[in-house]
Structure 1
């Protein structure tokens, strides 16, 4: 009996220990096999601020453009996974001015969110058709709101840069010296563009300029130059329907004999140019910087826009004196 008892006790214990072993092994492996992804340092919503943040932090890995490239942030809705990643980021940088309507629905922590439009709120341009959507079967309609492309204005970018610098220092204090240094370099790159816009603004009143824009995207940049274009309502992805054609022809008649020019978004299809040219307009295409375009940097793309407008202004005929 003693022999039987002596063998039964170890067997029972062995079975008990074997039942415990998988749980013990699973617990040890969970930090590596089931660990959540690393928390994002900086989440951005536009290629311009992504580029600037990466330059200032001197890293690509810690900064991510959370809106998929090629998607318009104003029409994007983050998935649950994307929303969680954005919420968990140590810093979320919003362009504001209506660029991220989805941000109001994902409960961002105010202490970890920077809205760059807050520092330029008095300079935002309001238009009656900034927001277009549809309720029920009545068709699409528009509401007033702000022009969102604040990043196209070198002058506005310079005003926003201190806020961006401070927020990045707060999230990466060990890199404060580097952040200040790189912010200074960025300021040095932007300042000549802002100065050139100011210089050209003094020339514009002396020139005969008849300019129509196909949308609101370039209004901040044109304001830097003192240009007030006539704006037509022409959705970027749509060809010219009868309503658009009517607008084009109306403006062509208004500027008859004055070599009118239409600014087209560079992302607009080449096929859309035909009715514009047939109505007597010249065409100038500009980059709205809503999408990444490697290997060109943001500064290079901003410079191309300003230089294209400089050539237009300097070559325009002198204004007719009353």
Structure 2
């Protein structure tokens, strides 16, 4: 009898244990108080995300301020941080080297170029070239600087907003309202580009590499990239190529991403080409934000074109 009672008791204990939840075999859910982390690959995407969210999200741009976001690579510690993020917002078009080299969880990656498939510009004569000390680098044919056209930046923002809402549905109304505010702020850039297109139609420009094609298309302008390497002396064939393109398309300008060397500017002037700087803002500006800095730069570009127009008028009179 006692043996029977012991067996019944042991069976009851085993049954009770089997009914308990297996806390170790199931993945732990993120705590309600834990802040979701969103990683971005460049400043324009950082600007978009920060415009859409508040302190409910942590926005991480892992690229140091003095590094090139196209060629920068993270260390082991940063790789672990990136891989643990709730969302990794990439640019697409092979913009950032580390995105291609890291093993990233697909479910967490948002490639914003996928929302722009119908608007992407490909350049047939891409080639491997260098960005400063970053080493050889190629963009694989598709121009990656979508945000230079405000309409495309809006579409990037819409795609990002939807993924943020998926992560935290409780923030849906707030994110949607912030998206509308962001679109409103981009209208000033669109209006300025409309003005420049109307006042200076059909312009042809030189650039070192394919960067400004989306902005140029927005204004009805044409960019001709030279594939010049920074810090290297130009060969006779480089200058011959410039002269041939210049004569064929009547190109009087070269737009630079950053302030060029004085000697290079002087050489271009002797070839009848004037230089102007328009930073694509892949890194955060020292002052202001994306919209305010683009407003400043477009106003500067407008002044440059007016001065050139005045000089051209004087020379023909």
- Is TM-score (shorter-chain normalized) higher than 0.5? yes
> 2:90 matched to 1:97?
no
Q: Is the 2:189–2:291 Cα contact (8 Å) retained in structure 1? A: no
Q: Deviations over 1:24-74 (max 9, x none)?
A: xxxxxxxxxxxxxx9861101111111221222134981111222333333
Q: Which residue of the other structure, out of 274, 279, 293, is the alignment partner of 2:266? A: 274
**Equivalent residues in 2 for 1:149-160, closer than 5 Å:** 149-160=145-156
Structure 1 position 220 matched with structure 2 position 214: yes
**1:94–1:114 Cα contact (<8 Å) kept:** yes
Say which of 258, 262, 278 aligns to 1:286: 278
1:76 aligns with 2:72: yes
Q: Deviations over 1:91-142 (max 9, x none)?
A: 11001111124323322222221111101022111123546279xxxxx796
Q: TM-score, normalised to structure 2's length?
A: 0.74
2:124 aligned partner: 128
Deviation digits for residues 210-269 of structure 1, max 9, x if unmatched?
4222221111111110101222111245453444333333344446xx681221222544
Query: Is 1:57 aligned to 2:49, yes or no?
Result: no
Query: Please, what is the CA RMSD of the aligned residues?
Result: 3.1
Indicate whether 1:263 and 2:242 are aligned.
no
1:112 aligns with 2:108: yes
Over 3 Å counting, the alpha-carbon distance change for 1:261 and 1:107 in structure 2 is same
Give the 3 Å change call, closer, same or farther, for CA 53–281 of structure 1 in structure 2. Answer: same
The normalised TM-score by structure 1 is 0.73
CA contact (8 A) 2:145 2:214 kept: yes
CA spacing shift, 1:39–1:217, aligned 2, 3 Å: same
Q: 1:153 and 1:114, CA in 2 relative to 1: closer, same or farther beyond 3 A?
A: same
Q: Distance in 1 between matches of 2:216 and 2:92?
A: 20
Larger Rg: 1
Contact 1:214 1:264 (8 Å CA) reproduced? yes
For 1:141 and 1:48, the matched residues in 2 are separated by: 21
Kindly indicate whether the alpha-carbon contact (under 8 Å) linking 2:95 and 2:139 is maintained by their aligned counterparts in 1: no
Residues 94 and 140 in structure 2, CA contact (< 8 A), matched pair in contact too:
no
Aligned to 1:21: none
Q: 1:240 to 1:295 in 2, by over 3 A?
A: same
Distance 2:41 2:138 in 1: 23
> In the alignment, what sits opposite 2:205?
211
Residue aligning to 2:296: 304
1:41 to 9, 16, 37: 37
CA distance in 1, matches of 2:57, 2:286: 16
Indicate conservation of the 8 Å contact 1:252/1:279, yes or no.
no
**Which whole-Å CA distance do the structure 1 matches of 2:106 and 2:137 have between them?**
32
